[in-house]
Chains A and B, each alone.
Chain A
């Protein structure tokens, strides 16, 4: 009985992938400073459009992405440029079109599936969890699933319980998928371009509350690798580990704390799976204290996972127990003030840091 030869290529032969982008070190990427100020939603659009111009296999489908120009105007103008065969309006039928797109990915296309909100992805839970991340494994390496699922994640503005889901902890539990969660327009463009080029299924989390955020985004093409955190602010009093929208809460809290003489270090993880644990360890070795700020519920959350890995990997470097700050452990409320209190908002971060640093 002869044994089959080992796979030698970097990318699994089940997926026909363009060569992966060249990933430059952060200091060689185009500058984050500049005067080309655009919105987060435009950065997403730029990423998709650039990749669609290069590769006809890439297409976008979802509810209202074409004629309506995107429920959140992310895909504005894309129908005009790429036509209805590549910018595809779907019925409100997530289970149907997600399963359909997965089959397209198995046969070599590169779908981008827009969920208007990740809250609506649960009706498509079977295809996105049971098929996309497991296809390569259960087919014994015959079929991969290079697909991007993207959409709004987390509390919007007073959308209450059913529309405010943070799905990262639920979904990141599943092996076979990757997960990216940008916190700013610059990273959104670079991470989404990488996601589209990655041969694995990528769950890409945006936030309705950040789509209008403005920042300099370089016109040129650039790719941000998965699994590389960014030091969003340097400090030595404590490490704040976060991702997505709460990174901005951390930055806001840091200003208040700096005025009190507490200089926090903020790590923006950018991707959850893979998770750049080395950068966390490096920072913890410097600050010896850590708080993970996560906009999902505390029980079995990403924060729980990060805290566990910190305990496993750098326990001896800690001066106090690693801490987490999550959303309140209740369904998302509607009332404006309650919703604010529910989130890991800057005030809650300031309080948590004060008690940890002054302990």
Chain B
């Protein structure tokens, strides 16, 4: 992975995000004013990616219940329009970072279902070689920086990627204007570091967009029980001088229409933004959540406004897809996802020696009284 070096920083590119990753086609439509004007292939790809996430998460839950996936596992079902729609407004080399409910972002960003599923199965072909698990999806070729398990820990880092890209452009003279997307749940609103991150981002003109995936619950605590003035969150960001907007997160066309101008503006003018994206998760906080804090009726209410059904219906109205096409797309996706489970089942488990690899980049002797560190196998994504 070439990066800038002390000697050749001018010639090389520090960020070698894959230029042709699958979602780049989605993001490369800056001339379109509204989503409905986007090429058919882009809109169909959105539907494909959202359904891929839906199907992937169904299989994830199944595998979890079969105890093939361990640890904490947070399901993205219901929120698909957010990851696909917002990432669809960016370029493949814009940094992306998120929290632990991260499978959807990984797939939307272009990670293969195999690498994502194998990671949860703890296999060597997983994106982190089985060392990260469900909460830590990293994908360097797609410039995805995790998957972070501590609520809001990703928010200062989001500012940091924006800082880094800006520094490279202004001080080293490499790279280009980029926007960082930093996702967070509504629970992350209440952490101090998010306020520090907003202050730094505004103070230093950092092009980072904080995307609040407002699903109404901080684990099991409803938003009006965990954060003050919950109906008016965007005023907080405005308090830091940050552009802020509230967007309906269940309609991907709407997300594109409202989010894309903000992305373009942040990129061009090097400023942060905060987006309150109202969405809903159909499953519990994690796989072990009995969901005593909400009613089935509430969940059903949102399922009636399902974002995939909405997009599918819109695309049918536009004549971009018909029932047969939708059916064959679902079949193709079901096969791919089943294939990812088969892959994960059959992939090798890490050799015992991998326990002591990837600890130090320069594993000198005497770093530990009991361990000898070394480099192991290359990461399958690199």
Q: A residues within 8 Å of B by Cβ? A: 1, 3-7, 9-18, 20, 54-57, 59, 85-86, 90-91, 93, 95-104, 106-109, 126-127, 130-131, 136-144, 146, 175-176, 178, 198-200, 226-227, 273-278, 305, 308-309, 312
Complex interface: stretch among B61-69, B227-235, B306-314, B356-364: B356-364
B contact residues around A86 at 8 Å (CB): 171
| B130: chain A residues within 8 A (beta carbon) | 140
Interface string of B366-382 (1 = CB under 8 A from A): 11110100011111111
- Which of chain A's residues has its CB closest to B151's CB? A126
Contact A275 B366 (CB under 8 A): yes
Given contacts A126-B153, A143-B138, list 12 more A-B pairs with CB under 8 A. Answer: A12-B361, A59-B167, A103-B157, A106-B160, A127-B157, A138-B136, A141-B358, A142-B379, A144-B361, A176-B359, A176-B360, A273-B367
Among B2-10, B47-55, B261-269, which stretch is in contact with chain A?
Answer: B2-10
User: How far apart sit A55 and B130, CA to CA, in the bound complex (Å)?
Assistant: 35
The CA of A146 and the CA of B14, in the complex, are separated in Å by 15
Nearest-neighbour CB distance to chain A for B2, whole angstroms, equals 7
Q: Once the chains are docked, how many angstroms separate the CA of A135 from the CA of B92? A: 22
Q: Could you tell me if B124 and A4 are in contact, using CB atoms closer than 8 angstroms?
A: yes
Complex alpha-carbon distance, A15 and B359, angstroms: 12
Determine if B375 and A103 form an interchain contact, defined as CB atoms under 8 angstroms apart.
Answer: no
> Given the complex, which residues of A lie within 8 Å of B200, measured CB to CB?
90-91, 93, 96-97, 100
Q: State A143–B197 Cα separation when bound (angstroms).
A: 21
- Tell which of A55, A99, A138 touches B193, judged by Cβ atoms closer than 8 Å: A99
Contact status of A96 and B128, CB under 8 A, knowing A6-B376, A138-B136, A176-B359:
no
**Which one of A9, A93, A99, A200 lies within 8 Å of B375 (CB-CB)?**
A9
Q: How far is the CA of A101 from the CA of B364 in the complex (A)?
A: 24
Top 10 nearest A-B pairs (CB, nearest first) are A103-B160, A99-B156, A96-B196, A140-B128, A16-B3, A140-B129, A100-B160, A199-B361, A7-B375, A274-B366
**B interface, by DSSP: helix, strand, loop or mixed?**
loop
Q: A57-B172, A100-B156 are in contact. Are A16 and B196 (CB under 8 A)?
A: no
Identity of the chain B residue whose Cβ is nearest the Cβ of A101 in the assembled complex: B160
Whether B125 and A99, one on each chain, are in contact in the complex, defined by CB atoms closer than 8 angstroms, is: no
Please tell me if the beta carbons of B157 and A17 are within 8 angstroms of each other in the complex. no
Could you tell me the dominant secondary structure of chain A's interface residues?
loop
C-alpha gap A15/B4 in the complex (Å) = 10
Could you tell me the distance in whole angstroms from the C-beta of A137 to the nearest C-beta in chain B?
Answer: 5
Inter-chain contact B362/A142, CB cutoff 8 Å: no
- Across the interface, name the chain A residue whose C-beta is closest to B148: A131
Residue contact B367 to A141, C-beta cutoff 8 Å: no
- Interface residue? B165 (CB, 8 A): yes
Give bound CA distance, A95 to B193, whole Å: 6
Least distance between B112 CB and chain A CB atoms (Å): 15
A-B contacts, 30 listed (Cβ < 8 Å)? A1-B347, A6-B377, A7-B375, A10-B362, A13-B382, A14-B382, A16-B3, A16-B5, A20-B362, A56-B6, A56-B172, A86-B171, A95-B196, A96-B156, A96-B159, A96-B200, A100-B160, A103-B159, A107-B165, A126-B150, A137-B131, A138-B138, A139-B128, A139-B131, A141-B378, A175-B368, A176-B359, A200-B362, A273-B368, A308-B369
B126 on the A face (CB < 8 A): yes
Asked if B110 is an interface residue, CB under 8 A from chain A, the answer is no
CA distance A196 to B369 in the complex (A): 25
Report how far A56 CA is from B366 CA in the complex, Å. 31
Does B366 lie within 8 Å of A91, measured CB to CB? no
B interface residues, how many (CB within 8 angstroms)? 76
Contact among A97, A127, A276 with B153 in the assembled complex (CB-CB below 8 Å): A127
Q: Least Cβ distance of A243 to chain B in Å?
A: 14
> Which chain A residue lies CB-closest to B154?
A99
Asked if B366 contacts A1 (CB within 8 A), the reply is: no
Q: Which residue of B lies closest to A104 (CB)?
A: B164
Smallest Cβ-Cβ distance to A176: which chain B residue: B359
A275 vs B369: C-alpha distance when bound (angstroms): 9
In the bound complex, residues from chain A placing their C-beta under 8 Å from that of B2 are: 16
A12 in contact with B362 given A1-B346, A103-B145, A140-B128 (CB within 8 Å): yes
Q: Which residue of A lies closest to B206 (CB)?
A: A100
Are B128 and A138 in contact, with the CB atoms below 8 A? yes
Instruction: Name A107's contact: one of B161, B347, B371 (CB within 8 Å).
Output: B161
CA distance A328 to B6 in the complex (A): 46
B198 to chain A, nearest CB (A): 9
Cβ B132 vs Cβ A138 within 8 A: yes
Which one, B168, B203, B346, contacts A109 given CB within 8 A?
B168
Point out the residue from B6, B127, B360 that lies within 8 Å of A18, measured CB to CB: B6
**Would A96 and B6 count as touching, CB distance under 8 A?**
no
* Residues from chain A with Cβ under 8 Å of B138 in the complex: 138-140, 142-143
Roughly how many angstroms separate A144 CA and B95 CA in the complex, as a whole number? 16
Q: How far is the CA of A57 from the CA of B145 in the complex (A)?
A: 20
Across the interface, name the chain B residue whose C-beta is closest to A178.
B367
Tell me which of A90, A143, A273 contacts B140 (CB under 8 A). Answer: A143
Question: Provided the pairs A91-B203, A107-B164 are in contact, do residues A140 and B131 lie with their beta carbons within 8 angstroms?
Answer: yes
Interface status of B1 (Cβ within 8 A of chain A): yes
Q: In the complex, A246 Cα to B155 Cα: how many Å?
A: 39
* Contact indicator A277/B366 (Cβ below 8 Å): yes
